[in-house]
Structure 1
């Protein structure tokens, strides 16, 4: 689990916990990742394995462009921390750079085709796919596999969510994939202002 979460549960200041991590004074096991993130492994807060689906557990991290590589590593670290907090063992992390609108993402396609992968963990729904997340989820469920979304907050209004997806798709074709999200947001803002 992350330092802030552990500090909150223990009633401590996060700065104190980070200091203890750096000085090696933590009363529980800690892990220092390559990106500088501290992961705390406290058995009283990490539930025993609730892993239902059989097979391997894979964390899938994705960013849209190469200039977001630092974000990609941080996303992968958060996913691994989440999986460990759920009590999952031997977690593999797969990272990929590519558009969420592109169905030709090699690593994702390999994960979806690999029947030995029982659980795929993603940070947000759009990290897996911008469109048709539900179809992918249904297909995996039919194979006794599952997707876990760490942060599953969504827009409450389904119509707004559908409209955003459609606008993003159209803008991607018209303006290029990178500018699509910004153009879709601008179109939604203009519609709200009208």
Structure 2
């Protein structure tokens, strides 16, 4: 179980739990994965937190926004596989995909979500699965006895900017036509960056 999840269940602040993990003063067994992530093995919750039926599959889902990031995609898949093996999954499946996190036109992800034999989906970051409405996806899967495990809950700014550019380009194309849409979207992002400074 992840630190944030255990801290929430125990009514503690996650920073306190991370500190205990680093100091070796946790009241329950912990383990640090090769990527540096802490996993908590609390018998009180581990048996209850395995809602996936016997024989269900665990799938690691890796995604990047563009084809120019294929190297990142492979490294992401390798980290997910190491995390799954660290969790005790013997043969985790790896599904990789290239596409925007904003739209729902990702065939491989749609197949995973529709497949009832997939009990657990592991993603590196929340935005790798979906940029928007992630809570809805989690709720729908939870109602079916399935779950999503997010390895690292921090956001990736460069992918967020790229997705924001895609959304702005789409809106500009509707307003001003395709020809100048990308240029206008870039100008809008530049204005936002200047306003932050």
Structure 2 length as normaliser, TM-score?
A: 0.59
Is structure 2 residue 83 aligned with structure 1 residue 85?
A: no
- Distance of aligned partners of 1:171 and 1:52 in 2 relative to their CA distance in 1, 3 Å threshold: same
Counterpart of 2:58 in structure 1 is: 57
**How far does the alpha carbon of each residue in 1:83-102 deviate from its partner, in whole angstroms, 9 at most, with x for none?**
11111222100001111112
Counterpart of 1:114 in structure 2 is: 115
Unaligned runs of 5+ in 2: 1-21, 23-32
Following superposition, the deviation at residue 126 of structure 1 comes to: 1.0
Structure 1 vs Structure 2 CA RMSD: 3.7
Q: For 1:52 and 1:66, locate their aligned partners in 2 and report how far apart those are by CA, in whole Å.
A: 36
Number of residue equivalences: 143
- Distance of aligned partners of 1:183 and 1:69 in 2 relative to their CA distance in 1, 3 Å threshold: farther
Counterpart of 1:16 in structure 2 is: none
Question: Among 142, 157, 168, which residue is 1:171 paired with?
Answer: 168
Counterpart of 1:33 in structure 2 is: none
Following superposition, the deviation at residue 141 of structure 1 comes to: 1.0
**How far does the alpha carbon of each residue in 1:88-131 deviate from its partner, in whole angstroms, 9 at most, with x for none?**
22210000111111211000000000001011000111111111
- Distance of aligned partners of 1:74 and 1:144 in 2 relative to their CA distance in 1, 3 Å threshold: same
Structure 1 length as normaliser, TM-score?
A: 0.60
Moved segments of 4+, more than 2 Å: 45-51, 166-170, 178-193
Counterpart of 2:194 in structure 1 is: 190
Counterpart of 2:69 in structure 1 is: 68
